């Protein structure tokens, strides 16, 4: 690495020769240039700030030169910005004011940098920032702008490797094992980017010509001249005249893997019951574990016994997953399949990617498996093919390029493999699968459809892996009375069943979307549906029929809304509540609709007809696209119209719940209520439906379709939480139960500290006072410790208030603070927290209590701000508690307390995930110390966990002591 310090611009030519080495090397450079061997300048900058408006300054410039997929030279220099470097920049880059004190200014090195970059292609990771900033610096001192071709390695990486979890440079370096000595230091970043760029060029070169050709058609959407990399790979591949390999097939420009069906080799072996047999089986793969072996034997015995239900308490770390997979695999030798259902798709993916490959190494025979998710998780190839012909913005085109590259590799078509933080982009609404019934057998993709092929394979699979959400909706389909069922994290399935039954019909959302459609059809100035009639896309009569059906929905749904408002809304003057929930009943809803039967029937008929018209219009549109009979304006109009139609259909999706037959089926366990603002009749009126308890539903709609059922959980039950869980799962009190010992040594792996003096929220003057307490407490911990920290809250309101308080103190400049609902979605924050290379702080609620796996250095400190009791004021809980009370039970003791204790234990479960893990739990709610029910929470924790009960001011000291003990 050349560290260049210069004093004036007159020596630019000398520096140029110094960089090249000598005249011989310089001539070699010219010969290479003349032979069209392109030089790429891979650049990275560090600056005082990222605003390229002339107010910020460079503090480091680094460049790595590559030719022919090889690094040929490097250049780097620190730059004196002639101002103080902000503290957060110093913390990020480790470049201090002292480091740049004797470095040259940008004026002194600008000529050298300008000369070095001439006749190169500018490459950067996030080129928009580096290229624009460097040019603004050149302009500031009187240099002309660089006029170089540019390539962005972020976009290339997204296309070449579409399933990576992150495209941040540090994460990519970690993924491929690049040496990254100083992240956020320009010399190290530039070198890693150069290695990445070479890797990306090689990956593009490995792609088939047909795929490169399809990517090239969309590549105008890429930044600067990034498309040239794809063009070069395509031209090279075209000259080689390579045929598409036998593993792939091309259909309408989309390269797909050919479908394959596994044929198992015949093998029949008895289940290994003894320690010697199991040790031989596991030899060279994993160590034999006593508790895991017990679980395997118990489940094998259960599968071959008379009892239907088995409840298994299997603590984290004992090998629970293999504990049920191994007996399931041997059961397949007897002709029985096993359905494994997990609480989250993240856990489902973990089983498939980690546990199944391990199982394949262990058992001495083949087995087959299939993953079952809702059809919306999968791509509809026909729909995706059509979107390639529709005008799209650049961001969508990049997404399509990623999908094309992914389709070349995937065997499942499961779009979750793309590992995006959100699938809310309009493209996904256009291409998501709607089920086998929506397919046309005339489509070129019909025989390759991922959902069709999956449904064929699942009939012969030894294992079917799914999630609780899919299971409760499709138990009959995948169980068929023949399979065994494993419910992993079974305690979560009642809440999933209740969520599945929850539905909302928003009257006002329907009005908004139908109005939007009518405007686009009746008053579009530049181009309207009249133009479509002139182009013979549809007739006047068809147009009038579609318009009439939308108008019917637009008028009738608000009419029925007003009937609900007039009869059931009780406007309370002076009410401070933003929303009010009014309890109804299925019979009340049914009675009102019967009184307005003609309007209801008219709306249902119009909606049904509109669905059919939309389907016909889409098919006609795609045929017109293929034939090229529509002009650009017509294509844009119809594309927008279909998007708006989908929004209307989504808003009307729950209309079927208002049908008489649906309402008549609802029993006393179904809750119906209205939600509205009492002081504003113009705000949304929502009709809500939910199930009050799931036990009966599970008994009738899930359990009956399986031979044997094993319910697994990692929770430590108290008497109260066990009774509650059995009641929720509809299990008998004497159900067969097996308990196993934890593999973790909590006495040496973990430590807990509880605050004894936190204020009681109910006695505080305001919520702001509580937020101030939390902010002070967390600020003290953050300032005095340096651990990877997850802070669990019960509400997004608390998170926002505390995050703002921490930001006012400037703590977000010293540590990365991620806050749910403030600076990202849960999915985005989980990804960033897991992949971070620094000690971050994550403020989370909801799914963060149970839906995130954070082993070892990914989580060192867990803070629980408040015991996770549900709000007793929600309508659902009021009714639940009232029903429990009617049965002679105390709602707090029978429902609220065990629910909170179970959630508390799930939160603690985030902390220790492996035998090498260490962690600290801090609870800032003194009720865990002072209340008579405190033992219900502490009893769910490991018995040998050390717990310190101290005043809030002493908690940071306890954490620091544990930090030293654990060697963090």
Residue 575: per-residue pLDDT? 52
> Which residues make beta-bridge pairs with 710?
310, 486
Q: Annotation-wise, does 851 bind a ligand?
A: no
Exposure string over 181-197, b if 16+ CB within 10 A, otherwise e? eebbbbbbbbbbbbbbb
pLDDT digits (tens, 9 = 90+) for 659-717: 999 898 887 778 899 988 876 767 889 999 988 888 888 998 899 999 999 999 877 67
CA–CA separation, 301 vs 314, rounded Å? 17
For 290, other C-beta atoms within 10 Å of its C-beta total: 12
Cα distance between residue 286 and residue 308, in whole Å: 31
DSSP 8-state assignment for residue 621 = H
Answer yes or no: is 678 a known binding residue: no
CA 796 to chain centre: 18
Which residues contact residue 104 at a Cβ distance below 8 angstroms, ignoring those fewer than 6 apart? 4, 5, 6, 7, 77, 79, 80
Q: Which of 192, 168, 187, 85 is nearest to 837 (CA)?
A: 168
Q: How far is CA 570 from CA 447, 580, 586, 678, in A?
A: 57, 9, 19, 7
Give residues with Cβ within 8 angstroms of 734, minimum separation 6: none
Fold of the domain spanning 746-966: Rossmann fold (3.40.50)
Predicted confidence at residue 55, as pLDDT, reads: 85
pLDDT in tens, 131-141: 999 999 999 99
Q: In angstroms, rounded to a whole number, what is the distance separating the alpha carbons of residues 121 and 204?
A: 18
Q: How many CB atoms within 10 Å of residue 108?
A: 20
Q: Distance between the two ends of the chain, CA-based, in angstroms?
A: 33
Residue corresponding to tokens 């997204």: 158
Residue 535 CB partners (closer than 8 Å, separation 6+): 629, 630, 631, 634
Q: Is 54 left (phi over 0), alpha (psi -120 to 50) or beta?
A: left
Q: Is 68 annotated as a binding residue?
A: no
Please give the C-alpha separations between residue 689 and each of 674, 879, 924, in angstroms, as whole numbers. 9, 13, 36
How many whole angstroms separate alpha carbon 546 and alpha carbon 532? Answer: 13
Structure tokens at 210: 């047909």
Task: Answer whether 674's CB lies under 8 Å from 687's CB.
Answer: yes
694 against 819, higher pLDDT: 819
pLDDT band at 15 (very low <50, low <70, confident <90, very high): very low
C-alpha 760/C-alpha 170 separation (Å) is 44
What pLDDT is recorded for position 669? Answer: 76
Token pair belonging to 333:
């030798």
C-alpha–C-alpha distance, residues 289 and 319, integer Å: 8
Place of tokens 């209801």: 600
- Tell me the percentage of the chain whose pLDDT exceeds 90: 63
241 contacts: CB under 8 Å, gap ≥ 6: none
Q: Is 319 annotated as a binding residue?
A: yes
Residue 186 annotated as part of some ligand binding site:
no
Type and span of the H or E element at 60: strand 58-67
The predicted-structure confidence for 840-896, as pLDDT tens digits, reads as follows 999 999 889 986 778 888 999 999 999 999 988 888 888 888 888 888 999 999 999
DSSP-derived 3-state class of residue 251: strand
- On the question of pLDDT at 592 being above 50, the answer is yes
Placement of tokens 């549809």 in the chain: 538
pLDDT tens readout for residues 334-355: 889 999 999 888 788 889 999 9
Is the CB of residue 20 less than 8 Å from the CB of residue 115?
A: no
- Does the pLDDT at position 720 exceed 80? yes
Band (pLDDT 50/70/90 cuts) for residue 19 is very low
Please give the average per-residue pLDDT across 815-826, as a whole number: 88
**Across-strand partners of 436?**
none
Question: What are residue 947's DSSP bridge partners?
Answer: 752
In CATH terms, are 9-206 and 746-966 the same topology? no
Residue 839: pLDDT over 70? yes
pLDDT band (50, 70, 90) for residue 8: very low
Q: How far apart are CA 101 and CA 377, in angstroms?
A: 55
33: pLDDT confidence band, cut at 50, 70 and 90?
A: very low
- Between strands 338-342 and 463-467, the pairing is parallel
Residues 637-662 have a mean pLDDT of: 91
Give the C-alpha separation, 490 to 710, whole Å: 9
- Beta-strand (E) ranges in 119-224? 121-124, 150-152
Q: Is 829 a residue whose pLDDT tops 90?
A: no
437 is an annotated ligand-binding site residue: no
| Residue 253 DSSP SS3 | coil
Q: Is 344 annotated as a binding residue?
A: no
pLDDT at 14 over 60: no
Q: What is the mean pLDDT of the chain?
A: 89
Structure tokens at 113: 């940098």
Percentage of the chain surpassing pLDDT 70? Answer: 93
pLDDT at 764 over 60: yes
Helix H or strand E encompassing 485: strand 484-487
Q: Round to whole Å and give the CA distance between 954 and 428.
A: 51
Short-list 2, 5, 102, 96, CA closest to 48: 96
pLDDT (mean) for 638-649:
90
Instruction: Output the six-digit token pair for 107.
Output: 């004026």
Phi, psi of 431 (to 5 degrees): -115, -5
Do 126 and 97 touch, CB atoms closer than 8 A? no
Q: pLDDT tens, 126-167?
A: 999 999 999 999 999 999 999 999 999 999 999 999 999 889
Cβ-contact 105, 80 below 8 angstroms:
yes
**By three-state DSSP, how is residue 738 classified?**
strand
In Å, how far from its chain's centre is CA 572? Answer: 41
List, as one string, the DSSP characters of 755-802.
ES-PPPGGGSS-HHHHHHHHHHHHHHHHHH----EEEE-S-HHHHHHH
Cβ atoms of 560 and 603 within 8 Å: the answer is yes
Helix H, strand E, coil C: the string for 220-252 is HHCCCCCHHHHHHHHHHHHHHCCCCCCCEEEEC
Q: Is the pLDDT of residue 820 over 50?
A: yes
**In the prediction, which pLDDT does 895 show?**
92
Contacts of 612 (CB under 8 A, 6+ apart): none
pLDDT of residue 4: 38
Q: What is residue 634's predicted lDDT score, i.e. its pLDDT? A: 86
pLDDT of residue 886: 86
Rg of the chain over Cα atoms, rounded to whole angstroms, equals 32
Q: What is the pLDDT of residue 913?
A: 87
DSSP assigned state of 573: T
614 CB burial (10 A radius; 0-12, 13-18, 19+): middle
List all residues 6 or more positions away from 383 whose beta carbon is below 8 Å from its beta carbon.
Answer: 430, 431, 432
Residue 462: the pLDDT is 94
Q: How far apart are CA 537 and CA 616, in angstroms?
A: 11
* β-strand pairing of 686-691 with 670-676: antiparallel
Q: How far apart are CA 216 and CA 203, in angstroms?
A: 15
Q: According to the annotation, is 516 in a ligand binding site?
A: no
Task: State the angle between helix axes of 12-20 and 106-117 in degrees (0 to 180), rounded to the nearest 10.
Answer: 50
Q: Give the class (CATH, top level) of 9-206.
A: alpha beta
pLDDT in tens, 69-114: 999 999 999 999 999 999 888 888 889 999 999 999 999 999 999 9
Residue 719 banded pLDDT, cuts 50, 70, 90: confident
pLDDT grade for 179, boundaries at 50, 70 and 90: confident
Q: What is the DSSP string of 885-954?
A: HHTT--HIIIIIHHHHHHHHHHHHTTT--STT--EEEEE--THHHHSTTHHHHHTTS-TT-EEEEE-GGG
Contact (Cβ atoms closer than 8 angstroms) between residue 823 and residue 421: no
- At residue 879, what are phi and psi to the nearest 5 degrees? -70, -40
Instruction: Kindly list the domain boundaries of the chain, sorted by start residue.
Output: 9-206, 282-368+706-739, 503-690, 746-966
Average pLDDT on 507-525 reads: 86
Length of the chain measured in residues: 968
Q: Is 547 exposed, middle or buried (0-12, 13-18, 19+ CB in 10 A)?
A: middle
């Amino acid at each position: 690495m050349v560290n260049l310090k210069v004093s004036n611009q007159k020596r630019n030519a000398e520096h140029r020769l110094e960089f090249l080495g000598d005249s011989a090397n310089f001539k070699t450079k010219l010969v290479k240039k003349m032979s069209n061997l392109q030089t790429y300048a891979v650049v990275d900058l560090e600056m005082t700030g990222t605003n390229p408006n002339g107010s910020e300054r460079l503090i480091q410039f680094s460049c790595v030169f590559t030719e022919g997929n090889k690094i040929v030279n490097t250049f780097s220099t620190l730059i004196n910005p002639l101002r103080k470097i902000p503290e957060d920049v110093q913390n990020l880059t480790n470049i201090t004011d002292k480091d740049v004190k004797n470095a040259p200014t940008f004026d002194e090195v600008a000529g050298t940098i300008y000369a070095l970059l001439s006749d190169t292609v500018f490459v950067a990771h996030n080129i928009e920032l580096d290229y624009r900033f460097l040019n603004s610096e050149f302009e500031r001192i009187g240099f002309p702008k660089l006029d170089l071709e540019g390539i962005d390695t972020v976009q290339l990486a997204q296309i070449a490797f579409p399933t990576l979890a992150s495209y941040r440079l540090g994460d990519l370096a970690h993924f491929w094992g690049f040496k990254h000595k100083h992240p956020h230091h320009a010399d190290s970043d530039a070198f890693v980017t150069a290695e990445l760029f070479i890797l990306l060029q090689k990956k593009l070169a490995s792609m088939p010509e047909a795929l490169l050709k399809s990517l090239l058609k969309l590549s105008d959407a890429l930044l600067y001249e990034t498309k040239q990399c794809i063009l070069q790979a395509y031209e090279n591949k075209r000259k080689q005249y390579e045929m598409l390999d036998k593993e792939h097939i091309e259909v309408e420009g989309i390269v797909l893997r050919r479908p394959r069906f596994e044929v198992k080799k015949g093998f029949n072996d008895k289940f290994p019951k003894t320690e010697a047999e199991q040790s031989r089986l596991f030899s060279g793969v994993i160590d034999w574990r006593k508790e895991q072996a017990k679980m395997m034997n118990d489940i094998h015995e259960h599968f071959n016994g008379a009892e239907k239900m088995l409840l298994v308490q299997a603590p984290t770390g004992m090998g629970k997953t293999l504990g049920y997979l191994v007996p399931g695999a041997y059961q397949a030798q007897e002709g029985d399949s096993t359905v494994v259902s997990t609480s989250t798709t993240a856990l489902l993916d973990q089983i498939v990617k980690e546990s199944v490959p391990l199982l394949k190494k262990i058992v001495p025979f083949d087995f087959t498996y299939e993953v079952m998710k809702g059809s919306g998780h999968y791509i509809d190839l026909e729909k995706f093919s059509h979107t390639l012909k529709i005008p799209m913005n650049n961001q969508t085109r990049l997404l399509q390029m990623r999908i094309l590259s992914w389709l070349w590799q995937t065997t499942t078509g499961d779009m979750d493999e793309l590992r995006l933080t959100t699938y809310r982009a309009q493209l996904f609404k256009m291409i998501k699968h709607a089920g086998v019934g929506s397919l046309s057998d005339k489509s070129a993709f019909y025989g390759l459809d991922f959902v069709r092929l999956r449904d064929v394979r699942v009939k012969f699979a030894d294992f079917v892996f799914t999630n609780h959400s899919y299971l409760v909706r499709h138990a009959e389909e995948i169980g068929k009375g023949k399979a065994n069922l494993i419910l992993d994290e079974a305690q979560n399935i009642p809440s999933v069943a209740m969520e599945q039954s929850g539905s909302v019909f928003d009257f006002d959302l329907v009005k908004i979307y139908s109005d939007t459609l009518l405007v686009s059809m009746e008053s579009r100035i530049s181009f309207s549906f009249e133009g479509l009639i002139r182009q013979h896309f549809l007739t006047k009569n068809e147009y009038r029929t579609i318009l009439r059906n939308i108008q019917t929905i637009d008028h009738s749904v608000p009419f029925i809304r007003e009937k609900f408002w007039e009869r059931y809304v009780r406007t309370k003057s002076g009410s401070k509540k933003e929303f009010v929930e009014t309890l109804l009943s299925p019979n009340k809803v049914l009675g009102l609709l019967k009184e307005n039967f003609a309007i209801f029937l008219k709306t249902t008929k119009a909606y049904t007809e509109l669905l059919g018209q939309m389907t016909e219009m889409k098919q006609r549109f795609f045929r017109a696209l293929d034939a090229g009979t529509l002009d650009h304006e017509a294509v844009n109009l119809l594309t927008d119209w279909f998007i708006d139609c989908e929004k209307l259909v989504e808003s009307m999706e729950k209309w079927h719940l208002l049908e008489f037959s649906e309402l008549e089926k609802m029993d006393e366990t179904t809750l119906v209520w209205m939600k509205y603002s009492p002081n504003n009749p113009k705000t949304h009126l929502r009709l809500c439906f939910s199930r009050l308890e799931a036990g009966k539903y599970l008994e009738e709609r899930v359990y009956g379709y399986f031979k044997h059922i094993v319910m697994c959980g990692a929770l430590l039950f108290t008497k109260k939480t066990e009774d509650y869980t059995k009641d929720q799962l509809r299990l008998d009190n004497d159900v067969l139960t097996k308990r196993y010992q934890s593999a973790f040594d909590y006495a040496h792996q973990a430590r807990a500290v509880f605050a004894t003096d936190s204020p009681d929220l109910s006695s505080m003057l305001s919520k702001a006072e509580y937020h101030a307490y939390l902010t002070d407490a967390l600020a003290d911990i953050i300032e005095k410790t340096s651990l990877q920290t997850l802070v669990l809250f019960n509400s997004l309101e608390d998170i926002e208030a505390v995050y703002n308080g921490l930001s006012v103190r400037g703590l977000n400049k010293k540590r990365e603070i991620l806050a749910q609902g403030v600076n990202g979605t849960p999915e985005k924050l989980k990804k960033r927290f897991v992949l971070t290379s620094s000690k971050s702080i994550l403020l989370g609620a909801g799914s963060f209590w149970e839906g995130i796996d954070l082993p070892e250095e990914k989580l060192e400190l867990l803070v629980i701000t408040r015991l996770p009791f549900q709000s007793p004021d929600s309508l659902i809980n009021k009714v639940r508690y009232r029903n429990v009370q009617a049965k002679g039970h105390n709602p707090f003791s029978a429902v609220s307390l065990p629910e909170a204790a179970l959630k508390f234990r799930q939160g603690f479960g985030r902390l220790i995930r492996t035998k090498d893990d260490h962690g600290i739990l801090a609870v800032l709610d003194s009720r865990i110390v002072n209340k008579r029910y405190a033992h219900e929470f502490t009893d769910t924790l490991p018995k040998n966990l050390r717990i310190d009960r101290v005043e809030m001011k002493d908690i940071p000291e306890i954490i620091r002591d544990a930090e030293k003990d654990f060697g963090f």
